[in-house]
Amino acid sequence: MKSVEGKIGRIVFGRLFEDEDLVEAVTQMAKERQIKAGFFALIGTLKKAEMGFFHKGQYEPIAMTERLEIVSCIGNISVKERDPVVHAHITVSNRKGKVFGGHVLPGCIVAATGELVLIEAPDSGLQRKLDEKTQLYLWAIDE
């Protein structure tokens, strides 16, 4: 593991509303509040989920169209080419309590509500850069 450290900044509580796209909403909030890096966790409900499984260089989609609880959604924010980007993974449960999960793709649409808590790192210098091997934008940490 390579790592960087920084000071803790603000804590943000965000409420997501019906029909908001999860990734879009978190990204938009990060831009508005000028958050460069941080950790977040989110619980709530979805009316549909779009989750990815990384395989041979791309995310294969797993789509669910039923009402679901977001039993956990954990993610981070870091800067890619000046803008904050969201990377998050999610688990969702259905009416029988069965759980499904994956990488959060666009298309995770909030049902009744979503509750996000974000902890900011204002000065870590964390950035994403293109990784040649995986062709993903990964954390570029040199120390």
Considering only residues 83 through 112, tell me which ones interact with a copy of itself, judged by CB under 8 A. 87-91, 93-103, 112
- Euclidean distance between CA atoms 121 and 71, whole angstroms: 25
Among 70, 105, 108, 109, binds a copy of itself (CB under 8 A): 70
> Least separation, in Å, of the C-beta of 83 and a copy of itself?
17
Rule CB under 8 A: say whether 79 interacts with a copy of itself: no
Rule CB under 8 A: say whether 36 interacts with a copy of itself: no
Q: Interface mask (CB under 8 A) for a copy of itself, residues 6-25, using x and -?
A: xxxxxxxxxxxx--x----x
> Least separation, in Å, of the C-beta of 100 and a copy of itself?
4
Among 65, 117, 129, 130, binds a copy of itself (CB under 8 A): 117
- Euclidean distance between CA atoms 143 and 127, whole angstroms: 13
Residue 28 main-chain phi, psi, to 5 deg: -60, -45
Among 71, 79, 85, 107, binds a copy of itself (CB under 8 A): 71
State the SS3 of 16-75: ECCCCEHHHHHHHHHHHCCCCCEEEEEEEEEEEEEEEEEECCEEEEEEECCCEEEEEEEE
Nearer to a copy of itself, 5 or 81 (CB): 5
> Least separation, in Å, of the C-beta of 32 and a copy of itself?
8
CB-count burial class (<10 Å; 0-12, 13-18, 19+) for 41? middle
